[in-house]
Structure 1
Amino acid sequence: MPPIFLINLKRSPQRLANSVKQFNKHALHCTRIEAVDGANLSQSEIDKYYCATLNKKNYHYPLSRGQIGCYLSHRKAWQAIVDQKLDYALIFEDDFTLTSDIHTAIKSIDDLDIKWQLIKLSAYKGRERSIIFKKPLNNTHSLVVHKKLMSGCCATAISYDGAKQLLGATEKFGRPVDCDLQHIWQTGVSGYSLMPFPVIQCTEQESDIKMRSEKQVKKAFIKRKYQQLIASIKNKNATAKFISEIQCTPFKQKKEPELLFGEK
């Protein structure tokens, strides 16, 4: 069983309780990673990682303290994977619901006999996107590559190599963490999705960060569209290269996944 890291703010005890309840329901244990509270960061702490110049160049509005704290929280989880020399870990934000297939999903990842760096286990608001590569793993799950990596960081599997690469690539950042993950030609980390997704984001618990950012997106419509156009071209080339590499790699499952407890 891989380690499960739960990112949770100290001032959000109810979210922690709800998350632990979800894990307990499925006989899973998590390790809490105290989220970086952007509201408490000093300007020098912000400037150490957040680059206003990169932000102005690569994004359509300045990041809020909450978004910066969110990014640093994920870096904290990636650092834990590297420090503990883990093969991989599952990283959760504290706004999710687990499906009954979660154990099958974990077993499917355990049994993968390929090198991978990142696997999405959930999509923001359950959004859909065109699939350009699909490999059935068993009767339940498939490993897929979307036309563009799904947004959101509700639940993600990150390997040691993926975490190490991401830490090196994001020492300075100017975009939200899930947006940076989509820029695979810059991070050097390509990603899959495990579908159907075994984790559902609880949008009723949607953070103020996301609601504020959506208002800012509307205000920066033209700049955002231009950035999306440039990114789509680069993403298309990078994703095509990723698919080519996949097709040149032996791809097999060690064995059919089994439930780790009980009956489905």
Structure 2
Amino acid sequence: MDSANYKIFVINLDSRKDRLARITDNLNRLGVEFDRFQAVFMERDRNSPRILNAPLKFNSAKNRLFDFNPISPGALGCYYSHMLVWKKILDEKLDFAVILEDDADLGENFPDAVNLLGRLKNWDYIKIPPSHLALKVSKSAPVPLRHASSASPAAEFRLCAWRKVPFLTTVECVSFQGAKKLLSVGEFYRPIDFDLQFYWRFGVKIFGLLGENIVSVAQSKSDISTTADPGAKSNVFVKLYMKPYMYLANLAYRALWRNSLREIEIA
């Protein structure tokens, strides 16, 4: 790894020791060091200093206006957890962090992907999507490896610009400048993966890193979906105006930043 100052964080609920044991074994086999980050559990933490002093505040009124569904406690805890890791990037003055959710299943090429991040300059946010996702990519470019540390020396990676930013935050890579932008907006009112599809709200440019055997998702029941209200109904009126807005705004910002992939420098 080059001299980049970075950390890998695993977000994990205290109640999910099974997940922590699985991902610890996974990362140990890959020779990857990490810090566990105690995930926010809303039933316990709602009035704690972690939430009361969080850099972004939840706006329940805007949640009703700008989200398809009422946000669940699990989705709230997920957003706060990622947000507080973004804050650690600033507090610890890291060049970047790789943030893993504890259901990530890391493949043999994950260490090389992390090494590659240390060679990149001028980026905000890079999403490494799980292999099963259907991706909407507008353009991509191959990134050469200096050396391969994995069992697959012929690993190939591509940086991509998204036609539509994919859901899930299984592996998110956030730079120091990206964390500053993400934490500058003051509030949130949607689940994190949905909110990041409105990337222009933060002023961040979200790219992707694609490749074989980097990450997939372990098969287990979502902690977020289990806290959702089964009786909650989608807001049909929000969908009527939000979907056209998302489409047109995404189209406009893609055109505005159409050459942004070229801004990333590779050492």
- TM-score tier by shorter-chain length is 0.7 to 0.9
Q: Residue 258 of structure 2: which of 239, 243, 246 is its match?
A: 243
Q: Residue 40 of structure 1: which of 18, 39, 44 is its match?
A: 44
Q: How do residues 144-155 of structure 1 correspond to structure 2 at under 5 angstroms?
A: 144-155=160-171
Q: Residue 207 of structure 2: which of 177, 187, 192 is its match?
A: 192
User: How many residues are aligned here?
Assistant: 248
CA-based RMSD: 2.5
Q: Residue 50 of structure 1: which of 51, 58, 62 is its match?
A: 58
Matched-pair contact (CA < 8 Å) for 2:125–2:174: yes
Q: 1:57 to 1:201 in 2, by over 3 A?
A: same
Alignment partner, residue 224 of structure 2? 209
Q: How far does residue 201 in structure 1 lie from its aligned partner after superposition?
A: 1.6
1:182 lines up with 2:188 in the alignment: no
Q: How far does residue 238 in structure 1 lie from its aligned partner after superposition?
A: 1.2
Rounded to whole Å, the distance in 2 between the matches of 1:3 and 1:183 is 26
Q: How far does residue 214 in structure 1 lie from its aligned partner after superposition?
A: 10
Matched-pair contact (CA < 8 Å) for 1:118–1:189: yes
Q: 1:187 to 1:34 in 2, by over 3 A?
A: same
Alignment partner, residue 141 of structure 1? 157
- State the TM-score, normalizing by the size of structure 1: 0.85
Rounded to whole Å, the distance in 1 between the matches of 2:102 and 2:251 is 32
Q: How far does residue 208 in structure 1 lie from its aligned partner after superposition?
A: 3.9
Q: How far does residue 185 in structure 1 lie from its aligned partner after superposition?
A: 1.2
Flag as ranges the 4+ runs of structure 1 deviating above 6 A: 214-218
Q: How far does residue 222 in structure 1 lie from its aligned partner after superposition?
A: 5.5
Q: How far does residue 37 in structure 1 lie from its aligned partner after superposition?
A: 0.4
Q: Give identity over the alignment, percent.
A: 27
Q: How far does residue 39 in structure 1 lie from its aligned partner after superposition?
A: 1.8
Matched-pair contact (CA < 8 Å) for 2:136–2:165: no
Alignment partner, residue 69 of structure 2? 61
Rounded to whole Å, the distance in 2 between the matches of 1:15 and 1:208 is 11
SS in structure 2 at match of 1:157: strand
Rounded to whole Å, the distance in 2 between the matches of 1:11 and 1:140 is 37
Matched-pair contact (CA < 8 Å) for 1:180–1:187: no
Rounded to whole Å, the distance in 2 between the matches of 1:105 and 1:216 is 41
Q: 1:182 to 1:213 in 2, by over 3 A?
A: farther
Q: 1:218 to 1:22 in 2, by over 3 A?
A: farther
Alignment partner, residue 121 of structure 1? 128
More helix by share: 1
Alignment partner, residue 258 of structure 1? none
Give 5+ residue unaligned stretches, structure 1: 255-264
1:58-78 deviation digits (Å, cap 9, x = unpaired): 102221111111111001110
Give 5+ residue unaligned stretches, structure 2: 145-154
